[in-house]
Structure 1
Amino acid sequence: RKSCKTHLSNTELHRLVATAVGLDCESVFSRCCSRWRMTVDGVPQCVDLNSVSELGPNLRYTRKSSGANLTYLKGFTCRAEAWTNFSELETVFTHSGHQNSIARFVQAHWKDDWYFSHQCLNGCNPLLLRQTHILPSNLSVTANMLRIFLPKGSSLQRELQEGRIYLLDYKVLDGVPANVVNGKQMYLSALLFLLRLNQQSQLVPIAIQLQQNPGPQNPVFLPSDPGSDWLLAMICVRASDFQCHQLVLHYLRTHVIGELCCVATLRQLPDLHPLHQLLMPHVKTSLQINLQARTSLLAADGVFNKAMGSGLKTLPVLLSRASAKTTYWSLCIPDDLKDRGLDNLPQSYYAQDALKVWDALHSFVVSWVNVYYSRDDDVQLDSELQHWITDINTHGFTHNSGFPQSFNTKAEVSKFVTMIIFSCSALHSAVNFSQLDFALWMPNCPVATLRPPPQVKGGVTEDDILSFLPDVNSTCRVLMTLEMLSQPAHDSVPLCNYNEAIFADGAHRRLVEEVQAQIAAISKDIVERNSRLELPYPYLCPSHIENSVAI
């Protein structure tokens, strides 16, 4: 690593060069001043700043959205009480969601088994489902128990061997301290959810176990159980998924990764470095939005602590556990989808669209890297590039995560840079701009349950279901937050659109035009496909994807 003296000397040299060619020196100045801060042990570190005002002008931005009309929902935030009945919930939903066609579809079908499973592939959290060939030892299902859900002549062992069984395991929630809201203890279920791919290539649910440790007080719930039992088990799945979506997938895998790579870029790559120039339009907004999140949403008075199942005591535990399980290949879309057995499912629209967008971005990055690096040796000899990946490893996912420790080839650099750009643009679009659609009908995405998971079957009636759901003010505070986070901006920068001068010059301009043509073709294909679907999947249509994490 460069010594402080050498680092400052090089910074001054870059400042002089930048000034001579008329470039702004903001990023050089920021690199000189940027320091790391550990907020949670085991979680990637963040920038050592306390407020947005400490950012330089080139690292700040304004976002002009149409604004959400929150007046109606605000009227419910003083009601620290349970919902009276489902009709009251429906009244709030009708007022807030009458213009949202996807939310209306969710409200109409949230109890349907096929749609319950469909959300695992194409909902706001399509990143946890995986194919399994061996059942977890702590899942108390038996072949006889599941026989009625399998085709005639098949068996559970055969279904496993042939790759038709899928699993959602929320072990990361096991034992985490759930929040207390309105003086009431909330509950998070570390459940296991088993699904099967049927002959029509549809996923269908076949079993839910609500706790990790098997035993007589931890029954396996089945679709054939009485309706109230099965519905409550489904609600517990959706509540657990909501926690993992918000913190593990949304915050950690887009916001945190963007900030990690932005700080390392400012510290290690001069503003004249080609990868600094390519990456900054995709990562620089992460600093401001994350500073704002840490002082608002994630603070003591924020919506997580005041309304959700994951409060201030939950956040560090859950983020640390999730960070310890994050791997490099899980962040690289082709590797991740293949590893989870989702790369060839005809009804996984997230997977199909993600692969197309990844391939377009990867082609763009490969061409960019080829402009500057003729051979793999050039990569190995780029000391600033090597310091950059070292900084990311030192302050990022420090366990055995599979992140490259150094770069030896152009291909390695191209894949890593593609991962960053995809995470900060397409992935953020998929997990952020979808969340209101699926959560507006609250029973589909409750922030937690207000009663512990049932320990016996047959003890719950339909009237009891409401007592498991969050209070009125918790519900409406969360919906207000999701309304604001889901608002498109009038001044947003679409994917692979660049305002920086470097992208309008010569070879760079040709590369930008090529990738823009590719993603325009992808957009056209997705729009055409969605026109044939009863429930479209629009979140990875490139025309809807923003260039960075800006909300």
Structure 2
Amino acid sequence: MVEYKVTVSTTNIATATTFSNVFIKLVGTDGESDRTWLLSLKGVASFFRGAVSSFTVSCPASLGKLVLIELDKQRLPFIPEDSWFPAKVEVKSPEGETYHFPIYRWITDNEVHRFREGTALKVFDDNHHLGQYSREQELNQRAQDYVWDVYAEGIPHIIKAESPSSLPSEVRFSFTKSTEFAYTAKASLTELNLKGLDDCTERWDDLDTINRVFCCKRTAISEYVQQHWKEDALFAYQFLNGVNPMLIRRCTVLPRNFPVTDDMVCLHGQGSLGDEMKKGNIFLCDYKNFDGLKANTINGKKQYLMAPLILLHKTPEHKLMPIAIQLKQTPADDNPIFLPTDSEYDWLIAKIFVRSTDFNEHQLNVHLLRTHLLAEVFAVSLLRNLPMVHPLYKLLVPHTRYTLQINLLARIRLISESGVFTQFTSSGGEAMATILKRSLASVTYSSLCIPDDITERGLQNVPNFYYRDDGLQLWDIINRFVKGVLSYYYKTDAEVQKDSELQKWILDIFEHGFLSQPDKGIPQRFTTVAELIKFVTMVIFTCSAQHSAVNTGQYDYGGWMPNTPTSLQLPPPTTKGTTDETRMLQTLPDVNATVQGMASLWLLSKPSSDFVALGQYPEEHFSEEVPRKLIKDFQGELGVLSAAIKIRNQSLEIPYTCMDPAEFENSVAI
């Protein structure tokens, strides 16, 4: 007889404990053990949360190289069925070799579950018939568990699920996350001391009243915004380092529909518009995707949603300042070009309309579509096409954590017919689907890759652009990590080409995420290792750093509503000189729309207590030494960058923390 020492670790999270009897079978290249009941002196405590328990499995002879294990649990009489979350199983063979079996899955039934030995294997390297069989069975089950669905025509596809409980257990929130996220928008109203205002359909009387509401919950940045929101410098700064740094681009030729002339603008003695454009000092923001849309109706009142164009100038002092705003796309006598030299409220109302459109552009395109919905596509395709033993699954699965449930909740609570976004924002009505469809049509592969995107928008030399500075460094760090891991597993381009599971993964993304549109530049298949490395870098960057860049600061910049109105309920002025403070207040959203927006932004900006920062991998999916060392190196580089960002921020009037890797998660988890 030979003996195998089996060590079972149960994850230290709430509800991970099982009181059931647990059984194991070891399967090797030369045979398999009997199904063995795991008993120890700990008794029922062997599989409590956080427990690490050892057992002995005896066999008549050596099983050879271990390929997989089979686990099942059988409930005791009179004890209800429970859920068990084992972390990993380690098996020490009689020959002295230790085998690692990563689990990290909920076992909720009494069926047999197979788990592969932790060494990553591509499909063409998986030569043992039992390994091939378990791989095939796993993917067949996943194809049943993760089914594509169409939410609306023309936007990325989603997972088919009606409620969080209908999601597979391994992708649901933890008990801790579920408990904390039990806050709905109404619960956030209570936390913000806004309860009772959510039903008030009146307009705001004055800014002091808004301030008294806003005082209930502030951040350092939101307080700064409240004090400086009227200033041109902060207005322009937000195009670079606010929650939507994705629209601004260098302007080399004025759009024909934006007839700004030299005698209109003040360029601080720097010559003509043409001269400044040649020097790279003129920038444009164009919200053309909003042209012709029908705005929502809120509290029975028609709302207004513009499609503005904004021209900005980099001054000799290296500040970005707005120099012209046109609120509609088509030039006309009743569509004036607003200028900083206009009256205070003419210029301020023009900026308010821009900020309101930017809120809607940010929420639907930059935030929902380009991070949440794409992250869901990456996750569903991964779970459908790559088994746990695949190296890319091991690399990417931490970056899918909670994404499917958070997106499902967003569809239920935010953008459904009764959702907060639908009810209280100007784009929440029939315009929403059109904006999403137009936005996807404008997404290109290069726009998802920050080095390419910054170059294409001509923003390499813009000063004080911290989204770019931090984002490019993060991209490089992630890229080095991904290159190290994938180059270890894929030695040649030919290996990439013949990995059928990998090719199905990218084809699923192309078809269901980008709706088979070849002009986007999204690959349909991978032909080289370099192509694979770049795409996987983009996936990790999108799910972590990019999501943080467009999510973390939402309450900072939107908590003070006049800076970021969710909707506007009077049309823009058609002539100058007709706007005063009263008309501005009448244009801003009603009290209930304001507080619902504040509550939602507060909720969406709150990290969970089971937050997992970028590069931290509490689930050990890799067992080989090389990827484990690469993870440590990755963590070290992220730590150095985080420290540098913190030092830089000490000297900034407005600290930029959105892309500090210590402050955001591996995945789209909020």
Pairwise TM-score range, normalised by the shorter structure: over 0.9
SS in 1 for 2:586: helix
| Pair 1:26–1:283, CA change in 2 (3 A) | farther
Cα RMSD over matched residues? 2.0
Output the TM-score relative to the length of structure 1.
0.94
Partner amino acid, structure 2, of 1:86 = L
Residue of 52, 57, 65 corresponding to 2:164: 52
Partner amino acid, structure 1, of 2:601 = L
Residue of 303, 316, 330 corresponding to 1:186: 303
Give the aligned partner of residue 419 of structure 1.
538
Residue of 428, 442, 445 corresponding to 1:325: 442
Residues 130 and 168, structure 1, Cα contact 8 Å, conserved in 2: yes
Residues 28 and 271, structure 1, Cα contact 8 Å, conserved in 2: no
Distance 1:272 1:293 in 2: 31
Residue of 196, 199, 202 corresponding to 1:81: 202
Give the aligned partner of residue 359 of structure 2.
242
Give the aligned partner of residue 21 of structure 1.
116
SS in 1 for 2:662: helix
Residues 358 and 422, structure 1, Cα contact 8 Å, conserved in 2: yes
Q: Would you tell me which structure has more strand in proportion to its own residues?
A: 2
| Pair 1:22–1:378, CA change in 2 (3 A) | closer
Distance 2:251 2:554 in 1: 27
Distance 1:311 1:357 in 2: 34
When structure 1 is superposed on structure 2, of 166-175 and 334-343 the one drifting more is 334-343
Distance 1:77 1:301 in 2: 14
Give the aligned partner of residue 432 of structure 2.
315
Distance 2:269 2:368 in 1: 44
User: What is the Cα deviation at residue 373 of structure 1?
Assistant: 0.3
Distance 1:417 1:229 in 2: 47
Superposed CA offset, 1:287-324 (max 9, x none): 11111111111111111122111224121111001001
Moved over 4 A (4+): 13-18, 22-28, 64-69
Give the aligned partner of residue 589 of structure 2.
470
Q: Would you tell me which structure has more helix in proportion to its own residues?
A: 1
Residues 307 and 474, structure 1, Cα contact 8 Å, conserved in 2: yes
Partner amino acid, structure 2, of 1:473 = N
Distance 1:526 1:28 in 2: 45
| Pair 1:26–1:188, CA change in 2 (3 A) | farther
SS in 1 for 2:545: helix
Partner amino acid, structure 2, of 1:317 = T
Distance 2:197 2:276 in 1: 48
Residue of 222, 226, 229 corresponding to 1:107: 226
Give the aligned partner of residue 289 of structure 2.
172
User: What is the Cα deviation at residue 409 of structure 1?
Assistant: 1.1
Distance 2:348 2:510 in 1: 44
Partner amino acid, structure 1, of 2:207 = F
Distance 2:631 2:202 in 1: 54
Superposed CA offset, 1:472-509 (max 9, x none): 00000111111111112111111011122224642221
SS in 2 for 1:139: coil
Distance 1:69 1:33 in 2: 33
Residues 424 and 567, structure 2, Cα contact 8 Å, conserved in 1: no
| Pair 1:518–1:185, CA change in 2 (3 A) | same
Give the aligned partner of residue 230 of structure 1.
347
Superposed CA offset, 1:383-433 (max 9, x none): 111121111111122332111122111111111111111111111111111
User: What is the Cα deviation at residue 65 of structure 1?
Assistant: 4.7
Alignment of 1:349-368 (within 5 A): 349-368=466-485
| Pair 1:61–1:153, CA change in 2 (3 A) | closer
SS in 1 for 2:217: helix
Give the aligned partner of residue 579 of structure 2.
460
Alignment of 1:379-458 (within 5 A): 379-398=496-515, 399=517, 400-458=519-577
Find the structure with the greater CA-based Rg: 2
Give the aligned partner of residue 303 of structure 1.
420
User: What is the Cα deviation at residue 153 of structure 1?
Assistant: 5.5
User: What is the Cα deviation at residue 20 of structure 1?
Assistant: 5.5
Distance 1:276 1:314 in 2: 37
| Pair 1:85–1:302, CA change in 2 (3 A) | same
User: What is the Cα deviation at residue 51 of structure 1?
Assistant: 1.6
User: What is the Cα deviation at residue 26 of structure 1?
Assistant: 7.5
Distance 1:436 1:153 in 2: 37
Give the aligned partner of residue 108 of structure 2.
none
When structure 1 is superposed on structure 2, of 434-443 and 456-465 the one drifting more is 456-465
SS in 1 for 2:667: coil
Do structure 1's residue 36 and structure 2's residue 148 form an aligned pair?
yes
User: What is the Cα deviation at residue 42 of structure 1?
Assistant: 1.4
| Pair 1:39–1:20, CA change in 2 (3 A) | closer
Alignment of 1:488-527 (within 5 A): 488-503=607-622, 505-527=624-646
| Pair 1:192–1:51, CA change in 2 (3 A) | same
Residues 15 and 28, structure 1, Cα contact 8 Å, conserved in 2: no
Residue of 199, 206, 213 corresponding to 2:323: 206
Distance 1:364 1:356 in 2: 13
User: What is the Cα deviation at residue 342 of structure 1?
Assistant: 1.9
SS in 2 for 1:92: helix
| Pair 1:460–1:59, CA change in 2 (3 A) | same
Alignment of 1:78-157 (within 5 A): 78-97=199-218, 100-146=219-265, 149-152=266-269, 154-157=271-274
User: What is the Cα deviation at residue 459 of structure 1?
Assistant: 0.7
Do structure 1's residue 483 and structure 2's residue 602 form an aligned pair?
yes
Alignment of 1:370-385 (within 5 A): 370-385=487-502
| Pair 1:235–1:505, CA change in 2 (3 A) | same
Superposed CA offset, 1:216-265 (max 9, x none): 11100000001010000010010000001111011001100111111111
Distance 1:430 1:410 in 2: 28
Partner amino acid, structure 1, of 2:258 = L
| Pair 1:477–1:377, CA change in 2 (3 A) | same
Give the aligned partner of residue 539 of structure 1.
658
Q: Please list every run of 5 or more consecutive structure 2 residues that lacks an aligned counterpart in the other structure.
A: 1-66, 71-100, 102-112, 119-133
Q: Please list every run of 5 or more consecutive structure 1 residues that lacks an aligned counterpart in the other structure.
A: 1-12
Distance 2:68 2:300 in 1: 56
Residues 149 and 159, structure 2, Cα contact 8 Å, conserved in 1: yes
Distance 1:268 1:32 in 2: 12
Superposed CA offset, 1:68-91 (max 9, x none): 863211221110110111111111
Distance 2:68 2:318 in 1: 56
Residues 166 and 194, structure 1, Cα contact 8 Å, conserved in 2: yes
Question: RCO greater where, 1 or 2, for CA within 8 Å and sep 6 or more?
Answer: 1
User: What is the Cα deviation at residue 542 of structure 1?
Assistant: 0.7
Residues 122 and 348, structure 1, Cα contact 8 Å, conserved in 2: yes
When structure 1 is superposed on structure 2, of 324-333 and 73-82 the one drifting more is 73-82
Partner amino acid, structure 2, of 1:105 = Y
Distance 1:544 1:96 in 2: 20
| Pair 1:208–1:14, CA change in 2 (3 A) | farther
Residues 238 and 444, structure 1, Cα contact 8 Å, conserved in 2: yes
Distance 1:542 1:154 in 2: 42
User: What is the Cα deviation at residue 15 of structure 1?
Assistant: 10
When structure 1 is superposed on structure 2, of 152-161 and 24-33 the one drifting more is 24-33
Distance 1:385 1:30 in 2: 15
| Pair 1:253–1:126, CA change in 2 (3 A) | same
Give the aligned partner of residue 8 of structure 1.
none
SS in 2 for 1:172: helix
Residues 201 and 592, structure 2, Cα contact 8 Å, conserved in 1: yes
When structure 1 is superposed on structure 2, of 51-60 and 314-323 the one drifting more is 51-60
Residues 178 and 188, structure 1, Cα contact 8 Å, conserved in 2: yes
Residues 261 and 420, structure 1, Cα contact 8 Å, conserved in 2: yes
Distance 1:519 1:139 in 2: 43
